[in-house]
């Protein structure tokens, strides 16, 4: 059949049952993305005869004799469509994976800049964005310009567009799976139907006999090497409890076998043909039950080499400590608040699912192109698992379509590596959206018992937390999430008596893992809710109570123990954040509540270390090119965190050039020396600091070369965009390079110490309808201490995106199970990712601070905006209705039931 694709008549032969999305990608239209393949997210949106459709549910055969327009057909990077230009000017994207579909839909809005917000929410309801919080997308539609044009002068502190902006809005920026190597094979996984079982036998003969099946992998093919899917600088931070393919299944959906086929359909058919005999084992799904004597043991076969705290008690890790005497302080207090708070499982729902393509390159190296936040750590662990030397493995990323901690795991790379090493052919393995909900690690559910006590004059005298986290079937990230969750959430308060008890427990549930905030969001929800109730008991304003009791420079930082010297106040803006949020809340925003609804206000605070502990390293190189550009080799991945933009601004500022002369080669073990990875908000404050050291050294070397050539002192030479001015003489950059022998390179590094602290305060005004429990946000405010704001538009977007994700976590999102290991919310449609209509605009205010530890005074601001959102909402709802909700999400049914109680 003939289809007009972007104006070009194209002969297409769709397969039976094929959708338009996959047919377009078969014709190399990789600008059409896969976010769900169920018509839920809009990442695949295209125009069919001018009408926007979700191509993942549009039958390919229906495109016959019709005109199909993708985002690439609207405009090119050199000749943008007006809507594409508006998205660039507004900074209307972060990771950009949703942007192609968003632009396609927005191009059909005839009302354009005059479209009211409510109408826009209706028009864009089929297009989800997980990163931005939607404000910048609305700005793009309305023609609001948030970015600056590139001009001479320092780049830092300016709202410059992302270097990839024009490619993102035209769909020409590549993501992980936007290539098809010749001879590409596909892997599919057979998942366990049981939450706990031993594989007795697998008959692979029928599968191997199927046409198109090239390989079947079972536990017999798996390397005999335990590892963790979690990735950290110190691999010993996480328990080694995982195999590529195991003989014991510990959660429903765990890999039983892998089939590699010539097509994905062939591989899936092979999985269906496998015959497996299981011995079903007793299972446990409640962490409290799992920690009791006699409970089924999840990892009874593991020894000390796995670094599990106590396999005989299903105990992954535990923590006990504190200062003072909490019990005595409680006995002497004028007011005491206790409560048990619970938080739910949450999925990251990064719109690009986990995926890897692997092959053997011309040098005989195993090469993995993968959707990861940590390419170097993935390389190192692949080498550990398969016994390979680092120089025999290359790992790199294209642009990554969101992460939020979910891609700080090794989930697809090991399968691809094993298949490539066995077949010698390129192999692709991609998670479905269902896999993301049922197999990919989620946010840890927490149970937190809190006790707080204070005196009548508003002094916090006791703070104790008792935490239990559900690790699920594997311990990836569980020790770190537990330790971190009980850290800054408690340390932010000055209190003479503190106690922390915590444990992380194995169950036969879906594994838990890294998620934005890394445990802090769960414990902060509990602590800030209890602190708010204590302030009410003492009849003290919540802002004022925090002012009296938060840590200030000079105070020790104490949670379960006194923090070491590596964590310090590089700057302090919590006082400003409290003032900014309170002032905005008092001024209001003119949005009123519907008649009869109850109105309340609430706030919460959060503190976070700007760098993970135990080392976070980056080594960066920068070179002067013959054309006057500078090439940076840096290991940090770009997944909407904006580090590429900030790194470009750092380099351009220090090298006195324009951003368009900076070329960033990133997230590739070939193009950089080393980088621990883009997690823990370290992209600016670790890799950026290493970059600053490198460009400063290169700047000095350029001046030294010119000074030597002219016979003058280097201090008389000033680097500019075209070359070096030494008094009244000038040497071009090409002349400098020639004088240096044709090569001029410098390196810089950072070890992630010392670490600074960032602060966020969130405040809400809400309305609650008593008859239904519906919560409506009337005003949302966040103040943030980000140090020097390197890119105001981008940093504001990070805050808004974190707030949007926090609102989703607080009000809607929950991975639900049947209590016996089966995830029942296995799609976006059943999970409720916030849409445009769910997220109100958030007022964002930045404290005026300069951090002595970060590059140009900057702090990190990727994770921290998320953390105070849920407790601030819970506190506002309590203020409105008078009853405290102790469990997330704060769904309308829970709010309604609390009113009935």
Q: How far apart are CA 635 and CA 638, in angstroms?
A: 10
DSSP 8-state code for residue 822: -
Q: From CA 348, how far away is CA 371, in angstroms rounded? A: 14
> For 465-502, what is each residue's pLDDT tens digit?
999 999 999 999 999 999 999 999 999 999 999 999 99
pLDDT tens column, 232-243: 999 999 999 999
Cα–Cα dist 460/458, whole Å: 6
Residue with tokens 């409105």: 880
Q: How confident is the model over 454-468, as a mean pLDDT? A: 98
- Tens digits of per-residue pLDDT, 797-806? 999 999 999 9
| 119 CB neighbour count, 10 Å cutoff | 12
- Nearest 5°: the CA angle 148, 154, 155 is 45
pLDDT digits (tens, 9 = 90+) for 546-571: 999 999 999 999 999 999 889 999 99
pLDDT averaged over the chain?
97
Cβ pair 641, 140 in contact under 8 A: no
Please, which pLDDT band fits residue 184 given cuts at 50, 70 and 90? very high
- Rounded CA-CA distance 648/518 in Å is 28
pLDDT at 150: 80
Mean pLDDT of 579-588: 98
**Strand arrangement of the beta sheet that strand 275-280 belongs to:** 248-249, 197-203, 275-280
Q: What angle do CA 503, 506, 511 make, to 5 degrees?
A: 110
Gap between the Cα atoms of 860 and 481, Å rounded: 19
DSSP assignment of 602-658? EEEEEEEESS-SS---EEEEEEE-TTS-EEEEE----SSS-HHHHHHHHHHHHTTS-
Residue 333 structure tokens: 């207090």
Query: Could you read off the pLDDT of 319-341 as tens digits, one per residue?
Result: 999 999 999 999 999 999 999 99
Cα separation, 811 vs 826, whole angstroms: 18
- Which of 113-122, 353-362, 676-685: highest mean pLDDT? 353-362
Pairing of strands 197-203, 275-280: antiparallel
pLDDT at 621 over 70: yes
- How far apart are alpha carbons 285 and 825 in whole angstroms? 17
Residue 191 to residue 851: CA distance in whole angstroms: 49
Residue 832: per-residue pLDDT: 96
Check pLDDT > 90 for residue 149.
no
Residue 184 backbone zone (phi > 0: left; psi -120 to 50: alpha; other: beta): beta
**Four-CA torsion 231, 237, 240, 244, nearest 10 degrees:** 0
Q: pLDDT tens digits, residue range 15-39? A: 999 999 999 999 999 999 999 999 9
| CB contact set of 229 (below 8 Å; sequence gap of 6+) | 242, 409, 410, 411, 441, 474, 476, 511, 513
Cα dihedral 649, 653, 659, 663 in deg (nearest 10): -80
Dihedral Cα 806, 809, 812, 817, nearest 10 deg: 170
With 0-12 / 13-18 / 19 or more C-beta atoms within 10 angstroms meaning exposed / middle / buried, residue 116 is exposed
Tens-place pLDDT, residues 828-848 = 999 999 999 999 999 999 999
> pLDDT band for position 900 (50/70/90)?
confident
The stretch 693-707 carries a mean pLDDT of 98
∠857-849-676 over CA atoms, to 5°?
40
Find the mean pLDDT for residues 281-297. Answer: 98
CB distance 20 to 59 below 8 Å: yes
Tell me, what DSSP letter sits at residue 871? H
The beta strands (E) that lie in 419-522 are given as 427-430, 442-443, 446-454, 460-472, 498-506, 512-513
Dump pLDDT digits (tens) for 623-670.
Answer: 999 999 999 999 999 999 999 999 999 999 999 999 999 999 999 999
Strand extents, DSSP E, 736-872: 745-750, 757-769, 774-785, 842-846
DSSP structure class, residue 858? B
Of the candidates 424, 419, 470, the one whose C-alpha atom is nearest the C-alpha of residue 447 is 470
Q: Looking up tokens 């010119």, which residue turns up?
A: 706
- d(CA 564, CA 579) in angstroms, rounded, equals 30
Mean pLDDT of 738-764: 97
901 band by pLDDT with thresholds 50, 70 and 90: low
C-alpha 63/C-alpha 14 separation (Å) is 10
Are 746 and 618 contacting, i.e. CB atoms less than 8 angstroms apart?
A: no
| CB count in 10 Å sphere of residue 564 | 12
Quick: pLDDT tens for 848-876.
999 999 999 999 999 999 999 999 999 99
Q: How far apart are alpha carbons 3 and 14 in whole angstroms?
A: 11
């Amino acid at each position: 059949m003939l289809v007009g694709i972007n104006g070009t008549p194209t002969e297409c032969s769709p397969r039976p049952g094929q959708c338009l999305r996959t047919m377009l990608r078969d014709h190399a239209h990789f600008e059409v993305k896969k976010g769900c393949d169920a018509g839920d997210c809009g990442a695949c949106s295209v125009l069919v005869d001018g009408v926007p459709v979700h191509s993942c549910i549009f039958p390919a055969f229906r495109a016959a004799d019709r005109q199909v327009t993708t985002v690439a057909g609207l405009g090119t990077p050199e000749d943008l469509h007006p809507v594409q230009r508006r998205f660039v000017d507004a900074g209307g994207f972060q990771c950009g994976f949703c942007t192609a579909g968003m632009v396609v839909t927005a191009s059909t809005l005839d009302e354009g800049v005059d479209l009211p917000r409510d109408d826009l929410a209706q028009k864009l309801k089929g297009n989800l964005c997980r990163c931005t919080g939607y404000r910048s997308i609305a700005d793009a539609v309305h023609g609001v310009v948030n970015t600056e044009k590139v001009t001479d002068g320092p780049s830092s502190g300016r709202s410059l567009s992302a270097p990839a902006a024009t490619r993102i809005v035209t769909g020409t920026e590549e993501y992980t799976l936007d290539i098809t190597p010749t001879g590409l094979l596909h892997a599919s996984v057979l998942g366990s139907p049981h939450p706990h079982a031993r594989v007795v036998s697998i008959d692979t003969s029928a599968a191997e006999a199927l046409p198109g099946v090239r390989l079947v992998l079972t536990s017999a093919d798996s390397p005999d090497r335990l590892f963790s899917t979690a990735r950290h600088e110190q691999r010993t931070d996480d328990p080694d409890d995982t195999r590529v393919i195991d003989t014991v299944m510990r959660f429903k959906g765990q890999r039983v076998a892998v089939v590699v086929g010539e097509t994905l359909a062939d591989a899936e058919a092979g999985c269906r043909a496998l015959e497996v005999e299981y011995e079903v084992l007793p299972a446990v799904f409640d962490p409290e039950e799992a920690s009791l004597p006699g409970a089924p043991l999840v990892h009874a076969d593991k020894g000390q080499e796995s670094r599990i705290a106590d396999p005989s008690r299903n105990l992954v890790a535990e923590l006990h400590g504190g200062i003072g005497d909490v019990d005595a302080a409680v006995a002497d207090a004028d007011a005491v608040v206790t409560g048990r708070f619970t938080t739910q499982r949450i999925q990251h729902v990064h719109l690009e699912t986990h995926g890897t393509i692997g092959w053997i390159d011309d040098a005989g190296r195993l090469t993995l192109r993968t959707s990861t936040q940590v390419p170097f750590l993935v390389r190192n662990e692949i080498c550990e698992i398969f016994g390979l030397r680092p120089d025999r493995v290359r790992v790199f990323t294209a642009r990554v379509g969101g992460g939020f901690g979910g891609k700080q795991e090794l989930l697809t790379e090991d399968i691809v590596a094993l298949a490539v090493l066995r077949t010698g052919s390129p192999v692709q393995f991609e998670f479905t959206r269902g896999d993301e909900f049922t197999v990919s690690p989620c946010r840890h559910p927490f149970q937190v018992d809190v006790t707080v006590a204070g005196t009548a004059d508003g002094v916090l005298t006791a703070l104790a937390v008792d935490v239990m986290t559900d690790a699920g079937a594997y311990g990836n990230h569980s020790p770190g999430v537990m330790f971190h969750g009980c850290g800054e959430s408690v340390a932010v308060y000055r209190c003479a008596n503190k106690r922390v008890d915590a444990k992380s427990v194995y169950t036969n549930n879906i594994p838990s893992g890294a998620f934005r905030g890394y445990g802090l969001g769960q414990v902060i929800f509990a602590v800030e809710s209890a602190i708010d109730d204590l302030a009410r008991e003492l009849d003290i304003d919540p802002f004022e109570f925090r002012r009296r009791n938060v840590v200030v420079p000079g105070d020790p930082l104490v949670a379960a123990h006194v923090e070491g010297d590596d964590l310090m106040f590089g700057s302090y803006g919590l006082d400003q954040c409290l003032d900014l949020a309170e002032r905005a809340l008092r001024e209001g925003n003119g949005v009123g509540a519907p008649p009869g609804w109850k109105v309340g206000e609430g706030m919460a605070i959060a503190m976070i270390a700007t760098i993970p502990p135990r080392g976070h390293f980056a080594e960066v190189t920068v070179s002067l090119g013959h054309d006057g550009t500078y090439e940076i080799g840096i290991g940090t991945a770009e997944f909407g965190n904006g580090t590429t933009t900030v790194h470009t601004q750092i380099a351009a500022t220090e090298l006195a050039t324009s951003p368009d002369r900076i070329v960033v080669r990133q997230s590739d073990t070939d193009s950089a020396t080393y980088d621990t990875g883009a997690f823990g908000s370290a992209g600016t404050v670790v890799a950026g600091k290493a970059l600053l050291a490198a460009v400063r050294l290169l700047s000095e070397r350029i001046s030294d070369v010119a000074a030597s050539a002219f016979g003058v002192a280097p201090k008389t030479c000033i680097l500019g965009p075209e070359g070096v001015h030494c008094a009244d003489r000038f040497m071009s950059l090409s002349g400098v390079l020639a004088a240096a022998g044709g090569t001029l390179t410098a390196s810089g590094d950072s070890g992630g110490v010392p670490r600074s602290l960032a602060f966020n305060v969130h405040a809400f005004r809400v309305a609650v309808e008593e008859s239904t429990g519906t919560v409506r946000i009337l005003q949302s405010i966040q103040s943030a201490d980000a140090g020097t704001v390197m890119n105001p538009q981008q940093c504001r977007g990070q805050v808004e995106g974190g707030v949007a994700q926090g609102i989703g976590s607080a009000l809607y999102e929950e991975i639900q199970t049947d209590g016996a290991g089966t995830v029942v919310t296995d799609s976006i449609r059943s999970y409720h990712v916030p849409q445009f209509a769910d997220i109100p605009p958030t007022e964002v205010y930045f404290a005026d601070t300069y951090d002595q530890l970060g590059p140009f005074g900057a702090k990190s601001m990727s994770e921290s905006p998320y953390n105070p959102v849920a407790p601030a909402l819970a506190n506002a709802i309590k203020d409105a209705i008078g009853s405290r909700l102790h469990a997330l999400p704060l769904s309308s049914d829970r709010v309604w039931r609390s009113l009935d109680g």
